[in-house]
Amino acid sequence: MAQSILNSTKKILGLAEDDTSFDLDVLLHINSVLAILTQVGIGPEEGFTIEDSTPTWEAFVGTDKQLSLVKTYVYLKVRLVFDPPTTSFAIESFNEQVKELEWRLNVHREGESWTSPFPLEV
């Protein structure tokens, strides 16, 4: 069963699926994070935005199981702006996790679609 990007992010943020009072805020932050991921080569080339609970993770990343890291990355980035931890230690921990996930996603993307910055001259 395909998971809704909005609903699964709300759930991990501690918001009830039927509580729509913060949907606009959460949608805004999710779309920002999806734009970041698109810029580093994750997701559809043309970009991807959501406006409601209809779009699924599979629609964004396809069926590549190694890209399940995207879900955690989106959660951490959204949490940091929507409901940041109260201590600097927790914020630093979140930021370190974000950096590691960015590195791992970038390594995966380079393994899938790397092109040499030095084209062969013919």
Lowest mean pLDDT among 25-34, 38-47, 105-114: 105-114
pLDDT tens by residue, 35-72: 999 998 899 989 999 999 999 999 999 888 888 899 99
- What is the spatial distance between Cα 29 and Cα 82, in angstroms, rounded to a whole number? 7
Give the model's pLDDT for residue 38.
93
Residue 71 belongs to what domain range? Answer: 5-112
Structural domain count, the chain: 1
Banded model confidence at residue 5, pLDDT cuts 50, 70, 90: very high
- CB count in 10 Å sphere of residue 43: 20
- CB count in 10 Å sphere of residue 77: 22
Whether residue 122 is predicted with pLDDT greater than 60 in this model: the reply is no
Position 27 in a domain: yes
Position 117 in a domain: no
Position 52 in a domain: yes
Position 102 in a domain: yes
